[in-house]
Structure 1
Amino acid sequence: MDHEDDELPPTDPAESLRLIESQRALTERRLTPDPRLLLWPWGVAWLIGFGVFFLRFGPDGRIFVDMPSFVPLTVLLGLITLAGIVTGVVGARAGRQVSGPSSRQGAMYGITWSVAFIGMAVLFSKVSNLLPEPEANLLWAGAMVALTGALHMAGGAVWNDRSLFILGASISFVNVVGVIIGPGWHALIVSVLGGGGMLLAGLLSWLRLQR
């Protein structure tokens, strides 16, 4: 008799609502990728990549660490590529558990990132040689961060994700401040506030998901 009673649905409406909410939260945690794996790779890439930029191309042409001029951009692009691979794998694994419009939205959003960055790289490779080195570096870095911020905001709008939209807006604001201040300082600001902000956002999102 007791076993049969355990299988019956709860008679208390409040208990039913609590059970539904508990199952919904459990399902959400299972289907939602770990935000640390989505944001921390980018945070590390920006923290290190733009940090190397600052050390080689400091304010007013100052060189804090002497290294070949191609190294900072190579390091940054390499780290960003690695971050994209990591987050792409994480997103693909999560997407396999979901079908329908949400899955297609995620796939199209990921393709948008790739196409946008490839298009930007091709365009800037044609025009950056016409600029002095500090301004060319600022063009690459500023546009890369601007595109990232805009795509984050677009993703937040598509999925009605306020946290993602705020992150994109914050990145955009930090980028504008850095560009206004100028070469050298832009790399430091984006490294500390942009990269560090992504690390913090990943941690806070993970803690919120656990709750």
Structure 2
Amino acid sequence: MDLDDDSPPTDAAAALRLIQDQRSATARRLDPDARLLYWPWGVAWLVGFGLFFLRFSPGDRALVDLPSWLPLTVLFVLLAAAGTIQAVVSVRAYGQVTGDSARRGKWYGYAWALGSVSIYAGLGRISEHLPHDLAALLWSATAVGLTGALHMAGGAVWLDRDLFRLGVWISLINLVGAFAGPGWHPLIVAVAGGGGMLVAGAIARRRQRQRQQP
């Protein structure tokens, strides 16, 4: 007698496999590819801060003769693109999720937005009274420091060790760059910060695949 494919399994092992397959499918649907959450930001930092180092290297020298407006413009464009990618990926993955998880994500997003706006508003009033190299260091060190702190906060909220460790790493390299001074800070952030995000994305993706295996 033929059995309907949709009929419930009568064997306990088959039922267990079905449950595991369904859990894996749900995890793949609700857990977006970590590379899409980390790599766009890593590329933005690597390229954007890398251009800052090439144009405004230590001693305010230009290793590459670039227009002075180019590094900041490229950095903002890449950051905006990274933010757009993350927003689209998050909405697709978590758009149907409700409850405490959705509320935490929404409030965390508000913290990013309001924290950034309030800090940049203050920096805009201060930096105009500083030399160009110190003003650039103030802006970049504050922005990177805020990123590290919010990454650690996000890791604490969701008990995500990878996210928390990335926040610690960003905070440490920002501290090193700030003490190194103008010119060196963008190099350290580009290589260690942007590169660190690329590595973190690869590690997080590998762990995702391990969790999603039936």
Q: Distance in 2 between matches of 1:181 and 1:10?
A: 65
Q: Distance in 1 between matches of 2:17 and 2:204?
A: 23
What is the RMSD of the two structures over their aligned residues, measured on CA atoms? 2.0
Q: Distance in 1 between matches of 2:43 and 2:72?
A: 15
Shift of 1:82: 2.0
Unaligned segments of structure 2, at least 5 residues: none
Shift of 1:177: 0.9
1:23 aligns with 2:22: yes
User: Secondary structure at the residue paired with 1:60?
Assistant: coil
User: Secondary structure at the residue paired with 1:59?
Assistant: coil
Instruction: Name 2:120's counterpart in structure 1.
Output: 121
Instruction: Name 1:3's counterpart in structure 2.
Output: 3
Runs of 4+ in 1 over 4 A off after TM superposition: 15-22
TM-score normalised according to structure 1 size: 0.90
1:177 aligns with 2:176: yes
User: Secondary structure at the residue paired with 2:59?
Assistant: helix
Q: Distance in 2 between matches of 1:78 and 1:8?
A: 53
Instruction: Name 1:57's counterpart in structure 2.
Output: 56
Q: Residues 103-127 of structure 1, C-alpha deviation per residue, up to 9 Å, x if partnerless?
A: 1211121122111111122111111
Shift of 1:161: 0.7
Shift of 1:19: 5.3
Partner AA of 1:164 in structure 2: L
- Distance change in 2, residues 1:94/1:11 (3 Å): closer
- Percent of matched pairs sharing the same residue: 53
Partner AA of 1:198 in structure 2: M
Higher alpha-carbon deviation: 184-193 or 197-206:
197-206
Unaligned segments of structure 1, at least 5 residues: none
- Distance change in 2, residues 1:169/1:2 (3 Å): farther
Shift of 1:88: 1.3
- Distance change in 2, residues 1:9/1:112 (3 Å): farther
Partner AA of 1:7 in structure 2: P
TM-score normalised according to structure 2 size: 0.88
User: Secondary structure at the residue paired with 2:96?
Assistant: coil
